[in-house]
Structure 1
């Protein structure tokens, strides 16, 4: 059985500029097909607009408010919102209040699968 505690996971900054703590991924568990992380974006900050060639992502907003842009469509987001980001979709999230959200990726998140303009 693999059981990881969020509080024991060290935060790091991803290529898009968000701060994440990996809950379950290839670095801390025998993960093969997906990853789960908690992400934080500070108030007034956007992530860098990017896409992933391979990974499909889900964001699930836990706290805060912001705007989510996927392929030039922008919507407000807040607690309880679940967001699907298909592979190849350009996306960016901006915090109007500090955002905390879960990010699931399949296949697992990898820096090498993050592309910018």
Structure 2
């Protein structure tokens, strides 16, 4: 029988893991096609500036407010703001927020680069 063409994840049941800006609950990282993944991120500290060589990320601010630093420029963010971050864009979150992060393709810890 072929694998189903869907997967359901309750992110509240996923153990959080540390990340450069706080903690994250990651879903779909084990998908064999590596199409994308979904991360619910609690940003509790100013993130370290980093970039990805292959990943595109979409951030969606759920709660809180602060700023995003994108290639050296600061932008105010609040719930409802979406940000498309392409490979090579140096970025970091500043402030306390809860966000959804969708990496495309799926998150690869080996594609996280710091200057």
Aligned counterpart, 2:10: 5
Gaps of 5+ in 1: none
Q: CA deviation at 1:65?
A: 0.4
CA deviation profile, 1:79-105 (whole Å, cap 9, x unmatched)? 00001111011001111xx30000000
Gaps of 5+ in 2: 1-5
Aligned counterpart, 1:110: 108
**Segments of 4+ moved more than 4 angstroms:** none
Q: CA deviation at 1:31?
A: 4.8
How many residues align structurally?
A: 110
TM (norm. structure 2) is: 0.89
Pair member with larger Rg: 2
Question: 1:84 & 1:2 partners in 2: Cα distance?
Answer: 24
1:53·1:87 contact (CA, 8 Å) conserved in 2?
Answer: yes
Q: CA deviation at 1:110?
A: 1.4
1:62·1:102 contact (CA, 8 Å) conserved in 2?
Answer: yes
2:28·2:106 contact (CA, 8 Å) conserved in 1?
Answer: no
Aligned counterpart, 2:35: 33
